[in-house]
Amino acid sequence: MLTNLLYLKIAITMVMMIVMLFEWRRFKSSKAQVLFLIFAVMFLKEIAFVIRLFSIPFADLLKGVEEFAPVKDNIINNLGKIFESSNEALLPVKASLDNLIMVWHFIEVFFCIILFHLVHLWVSLGEKGKFRKAFTIINTLLLGAAVFFVGKSGTYSSYKWIFTVWQSGLLFSGIILIGRIYKYTFLDLKYLIAHKLAISFAFVPFILFYFLNTITPFINKPFSMVFQITGIISLCVFSYKFMHFSLDSIRNKVVEIRKERSLVITLLQDIGHAMAENLSQGIVMERIINAALKSTDARTGCVLLIEERTNSLGVEVVTGFYPPVTKMDLGNLTKEKFLIEKFKSTRVKIGESYLGKVAETGESLFIRDAKDDDRIEQTAKGLMDIRTVITVPLKIQDDILGVMSIINKESAPVFSDADFSLMETLGDQAAITLNQVKLYQEMLEKKQSEKELSVAGNIQMALLPTEFKDYDKIDVSAFSHAAKGVGGDYYDLIDFGNGKVGIIMTDVAGKGVPAALIMVMIRSVLRTYAKEDREARDVITTVNNTIAGDVTEERYATMFYFIFDSEYKILNYCNAAHGPLLLYRSNLDSFALLDTEGMPVGILPDVEYGQEYTSLHSGDIAVLYTDGITEAMNLNREQFGLDRVKKIVRENKHLRAKELTDMIYEQVEEFVGAAPQHDDQTLLLMKAK
């Protein structure tokens, strides 16, 4: 019976040793490695124990442990006579085998208890709570000292009592550890909290093993072996469970990561749909916080965004009852509804409270146990106690846009590390989305302003006459080609009747809507003030005095204005620093440049402008242009220049005004080719009939 039990004990340890060896190789798990070593040493110890039996003289054996006599006989019968004949020779081996068993006890303790405590200590050091840390350190030091003492205490027989006391201590410590599972101490080992009940069951046989080991020397009866085997089986069950749980925790991690990934993908799709439908920052933030609540199983959450103007955080969206960050004395008014409204209207100064600190530092905050944490102020005690908090910054690179925060988990007392990691991912996603929404809205605004600009451009172009009626004595044609959007070129013809016309060519400095506005101003003044009996100088002086006071100095315009009396063919002109009028005199076949004194309009009021009169003949051609024509540049950086205009006019003087302007336009286009033009190209041509 006893022999069989002894064999069973050896067999079990061997099987477990092999099982753990396989587990170790299969999962590359350090836990399986440790357990393999435990069982391997245990197996060697049992073998050593059997060998030791043969080294004890028969007399000793009968005096000491009588129950092993049949064992020995059995083994001798089974293994032959070799051991019997050399019994005496094996005597010196006895002492070393005793030591081997001693070493086993040492290693057993080291792996099963001390290592466990060291892990516990290592995890605890990362936690707050001075008491827990101190307790774990003292606990570990005590156990370490005990092991050291045991190792020093010589042979098995002489330290039996000390060994017993020490093992009792271990038992006690084991019981305390089980007790601490229910006091959150085991939160440090996440897979233990997940299966705390199962772990407790696994620990009971573990302790039973030690208990039985402890009392075996005192019972000294045959069935003590049964206790020992029960102990070993319990340890096997524990080892199996332990492996099982550690594998489970890996599986759980994989599941968590998959969950996180699928959540982020769903969220991205969700946001994509939201963006396609109607993109508002509030809606997108609401979707993100809802995704956060759903996936972490949090009770309430909120998103706060930084308002740069006030250097504070404003509540963008809040779901559920999120307690205010600062305490208020409300008397009996502490109603939930009131507090929710209070929070919604809160401005959290950056750097103040836990939310403001995250916004300031840009570092995530995870307060597992917030109950007694002095970073958290319990502002709605009784209504919404803050038990656990995760707050993450919404930041893109170093630019912090706001914070997202969740409070209290529904299904567990505290948030898990997986929840924290998920929140950090969501925080990043929220920041990216926020940025996209911002860019998208900027793009929309830009589009809107481009639209307005093109409307302004259309209005401006509509103010430029494109068709001129057939006058008896003159033939007029013009074109204006805007370089980009809204330009600042403006020309006009005012028909005074009696064969008199006023013609203007202006170029406003700058571009875009401001330039167009100045152009419209000039047009209004001109259209109101220019009359057939008002000389060119008067008109320009009035335009200048009207614009100069109202408009900033850098918005000025060059302007050429003339009045032509086609009846008498007299031209009265005045130039405010515009390009001189190019006049082709048909009778002389030569060109003249008509110019007068004066600076651009809009700079200074009361500028003195000059004016001149000249007479034209039939066939004379007057050309007004802006520098977009003369300075039109091709890819070789050559300018079109006035000479090319002269050449076209001279060679085609017989053509109608419209044909001439078309030709000039075509030749300018041909000249510049693919070179981009930065200035409007405007030209007006009047031919005297």
Partner 1 sequence: MDITVRENDGIVILDINGEIDLYNAPDIKENIKGQMEGGKTNIIINLDKVSYIDSSGIGVLISSLSNLKKAGGSLKIINVYASVRKVFELTKLTSFFDIYDSEEEALTSYNA
Site residues for partner 1 per CB under 8 A: 507, 509-511, 552-556, 558, 577, 579, 597-600, 603-604, 678
CB of 507 to partner 1, least distance (A): 7
**Cβ closest to partner 1, residue 74 vs residue 639:** 639
The one-character DSSP state at 236 is H
Least CB distance to partner 1 at residue 548 (A): 10
Nearer to partner 1, 147 or 607 (CB): 607
Between CA 375 and CA 383, with CA 378 as vertex, the angle to 5 degrees is 155
Rounded to the nearest 10°, the torsion over CA 257, 259, 260, 266 is 150
Q: Least distance (Å) from partner 1 to the CB of residue 439?
A: 22
402 vs 600, beta carbon nearer partner 1: 600
Please tell me the number of Cα atoms within 13 Å of 649 on its side-chain side: 26
Shortest distance in whole angstroms from residue 553 CB to partner 1: 4
Strands 621-625, 681-688: pairing kind: antiparallel
CB of 604 to partner 1, least distance (A): 8
Nearer to partner 1, 98 or 631 (CB): 631
**Least distance (Å) from partner 1 to the CB of residue 635?**
17
Give 550 or 554: the residue with its C-beta nearer to partner 1.
554
Contact 500, 569 (CB under 8 A): no
CB burial of residue 430 (10 Å; 0-12, 13-18, 19+): buried
- Closer residue to partner 1, CB minimum distance, 425 or 541: 541
Residue written as token pair 């929070």? 343
Task: Give CA separation, 223 vs 216, 229, 230, in Å.
Answer: 9, 10, 11
C-alpha span between 261 and 425 (Å, rounded): 9
Name which of 71 and 551 has its Cβ closer to partner 1: 551
Minimum distance from CB of 593 to partner 1 (Å)? 12
* Nearest approach, Cβ of residue 327 and partner 1 (Å): 45
Q: Of 324 and 487, which has the nearer Cβ to partner 1?
A: 487
Minimum gap (Å) between residue 599 Cβ and partner 1: 5
Q: How far is the CB of 488 from partner 1 (least distance, A)?
A: 9
> Rounded to whole angstroms, what are the CA distances from 292 to 346, 392, 419, 657?
22, 11, 9, 73
413, 419 contact by CB (below 8 A)? no
- Work out how close the CB of 649 gets to partner 1 at its nearest, in angstroms, rounded to a whole number: 21
> Of the two residues 427 and 628, which places its CB atom closer to partner 1 in the complex?
628
- Residues contacting residue 246 through CB under 8 Å, at least 6 positions apart: 29, 31, 191
CA dihedral for 400, 404, 407, 410, sign (positive or negative):
negative
CB of 554 to partner 1, least distance (A): 3
Nearer to partner 1, 358 or 576 (CB): 576
| Total Cβ atoms within 10 A of residue 654 | 9
What's the CA angle centered on 615, arms 611 and 618, to 5 degrees? 140
Query: Tokens for 86?
Result: 């050399």
Dihedrals phi, psi of 542, to nearest 5 degrees:
-65, -45
The runs of H, that is alpha helices, within 221-298 are 224-277, 281-296
Quickly count: other Cβ atoms within 10 Å of residue 133's Cβ: 15
Phi, psi (5° rounding) for residue 613? -125, 145
Count Cβ atoms within 10 A of the Cβ of residue 442 and give its class: 0-12 exposed, 13-18 middle, 19 or more buried: exposed
Q: Please, which residue, 419 or 489, has the CB nearer to partner 1?
A: 489
Are the C-beta atoms of 688 and 615 separated by less than 8 Å? no
Beta strands in 519-655 (DSSP E): 557-565, 570-576, 581-585, 590-594, 612-615, 621-625
Q: Which amino acid is at 195?
A: H
**Contact 573/611 with Cβ under 8 angstroms?**
yes
Burial class, 178, CB count within 10 angstroms (exposed 0-12 / middle 13-18 / buried 19+): middle
Q: Are 189 and 123 in contact (CB under 8 A)?
A: yes
Pairing of strands 500-508, 489-497: antiparallel
CB of 455 to partner 1, least distance (A): 22
Phi, then psi, of 614 in degrees rounded to 5: -150, 160
Q: Report in angstroms how near the CB of residue 678 gets to partner 1 at its nearest.
A: 8
In angstroms, what is the minimal distance from the CB of 623 to partner 1? 17
Distance from C-alpha of 575 to C-alpha of 358, rounded to nearest angstrom: 65
Token representation of residue 79? 């293994």
Rounded to the nearest whole angstrom, what is the least distance from the CB of residue 528 to partner 1 in the complex? 26
Q: Is 3 or 630 the residue whose CB approaches partner 1 more closely? A: 630
Tell me whether residue 295 or residue 541 sits nearer to partner 1 (CB atom).
541
Give the nearer residue to partner 1 in terms of CB position, either 457 or 598. 598
Burial zone of 498 (CB within 10 Å; 0-12 exposed, 13-18 middle, 19+ buried): exposed
d(CA 608, CA 541): 8
Task: Kindly tell me the number of DSSP H helices and DSSP E strands found in the chain.
Answer: 21, 16
Q: Closer CB to partner 1, residue 65 or residue 635?
A: 635
Smaller CB separation from partner 1, 205 or 600? 600
User: Least Å distance between CB 603 and partner 1?
Assistant: 5
174 vs 628, beta carbon nearer partner 1:
628
